[in-house]
Amino acid sequence: MNTVEPEVADVVLIGGGIMSATLGAMISTLEPQWHIVLVERASDIATESSGPWNNAGTGHSGYCELNYMPDPEDGTAPGQIAAQFQLSRRWWAHLVQQGLLDPATFVHGTPHMDVVFGDHDVAYLRRRFETLSADPLFADLEFSDDPATIAAWAPLVMAGRDPAQPIAATRHPGGTDVDFGALTRGLTRIITSNGGEVRLGHEVRRLRQDPDGTWLVGGRRTGSHNRFQLRARHVFVGAGGFALRLLQRAHVPEVRGYGVLPVGAAFLRCAQPDVVAQHDAKVYGQAAIGAPPMSVPHLDKRVVDGKGYLMFGPYATFSTKLLKGGRLTDFFTTLRWHNLHVLAAAALQSLTLVRYLIGELLTPLSGKIKQLQRFYPEADPGDWELIPAGQRAQLVTPDPKRVGVLQSGTELVTSADGTIAGLLGASPGASTAVPIMLGLLQRCFPERWAASWQSRMNDAVAPRDTAALLSL
């Protein structure tokens, strides 16, 4: 067994996904002389939730995600998400202007649509459209209950459909399909071009803060007994499902009582060029009655490595792994005496989720195809394959009234002294990475933020023609 003296870094980023890459690129452009080290347990970056086949690739902007707006009279949540995604687009466009990113590699203009069936959901969608149309961020949103118009927007959705079925749709032309894996690789190149390092096959197992306030980051190299140690002034834990476990090991009191519940997903994927060519949209629907918001089905155009695909799902899966490449014991390593009752309370309040998961696990492939054919009536099962997607660690937080609450979004956790931070939760995480990391810079580096970083980042996310710069 080898032991080494710790190497010194200014910032250590744990996890090779979109969050660490975003933060690292920001800091490396603000302080290019800082030594940044990104460590990733896998043999490549973006192998977990940021990988293109581990998420739907939707640039979450509130245009089509009905689960963000259960009340058609309240457009607060979609408006907030739209504003956050605008910041992400602006920062990407800024990096494109600087010659640091190539938009063709990671983002493609793809209209965002909703399609709903039945009188009840049609009435809901119409009212949602009326509410959002008053917000300038949704000025280009269109509504139609005319089958011919919807057929022009999404031919596969209407071909072979019963003409008597009540149907309505909304469409926003400004939607995007994002390959977050390619974006992660582009951002990490910014880090390394400024002297930072990306170390693959490095699994972090220990985090300890010493009396001088610095952090000792220790672990082993994958597939060997060789150990490594890094010492840093600041640490960010962007390790997806492993983030809570690492923050617990670091004894960060801010995560006391927090827990996670693992939920996996699978998608149907089609690579037939003649089918793919007929669908140029991300079409979201309404979750079935009693199903959780995360189960909203969608038929998506995807572009990965320059090739077009269609994806439909998600279909829930279950595993006690917290990462796709994790271990079956992962979930149990997060259990503590102070979060057991929180997790139990959240589970009891989420029986619909439990029933949904059981139903999904019992549904054969033929049943999954039937769900696809509700969106695409003439879908040929032979054109589609079922592929595994990523693992989500749904965050559960303590609550004074409900004891434990299952959270649907993301939460940034920072220590009181600002030297360590981590991101917990799931969707719409990747799409809102930029505003999340701007918040982290402000909270963890308050003096530098006030002195110069704020004005420089304000310039980087200032309004600009993102559509033109990103070639949308």
CA dihedral 315, 409, 234, 46 (to 10 degrees): 20
Q: What global pTM score does this model have?
A: 0.95
Tell me whether the omega of the peptide bond preceding residue 78 falls within 30 degrees of 0, making it cis: no
| Residue of 23, 132, 24, 25 whose CA lies nearest to 72 | 132
Burial of 253 (0-12, 13-18, 19+ CB in 10 A): exposed
- High-pLDDT (> 70) share of the chain, %: 97
Residue 289 pLDDT:
61
pLDDT reading at 290 higher than 60? no
Tell me whether the omega of the peptide bond preceding residue 428 falls within 30 degrees of 0, making it cis: yes
202 DSSP β-pair partners: 221
Q: Are 301 and 276 in contact (CB under 8 A)?
A: yes
Residue 145 pLDDT:
97
- Per-residue pLDDT tens for 233-265? 999 999 999 999 999 999 999 999 999 999 889
pLDDT reading at 3 higher than 90? no
**Pick the residue with more confidence: 426 or 256?**
256
In the three-class reduction of DSSP (H, G, I as helix; E, B as strand; rest coil), residue 134 is classed as coil
Give me the half-sphere count of Cα atoms (radius 13 Å) on the Cβ side of residue 96.
23
> CA-CA distance, 18 to 27, in Å (whole number)?
14
Residue 294 pLDDT:
62
Q: Are 19 and 429 in contact (CB under 8 A)?
A: yes
- Per-residue pLDDT tens for 353-372? 788 888 888 889 999 999 99
> CA-CA distance, 457 to 174, in Å (whole number)?
24
Domain ranges of the chain: 7-469
**Structure-block tokens of residue 230:** 């890094």
Tell me the average pLDDT of the chain.
94
CATH architecture of 7-469: 3-Layer(bba) Sandwich (3.50)
pLDDT reading at 295 higher than 80? no
pLDDT level of residue 327 (50, 70, 90 thresholds) = very high
**Structure-block tokens of residue 226:** 């060789």
| Residue of 14, 437, 37 whose CA lies nearest to 240 | 14
> In the predicted model, what is the mean pLDDT of residues 453-463?
97
> CA-CA distance, 196 to 42, in Å (whole number)?
18
pLDDT level of residue 286 (50, 70, 90 thresholds) = confident
- Per-residue pLDDT tens for 77-116? 999 999 999 999 999 999 999 999 999 999 999 999 999 9
pLDDT level of residue 29 (50, 70, 90 thresholds) = very high
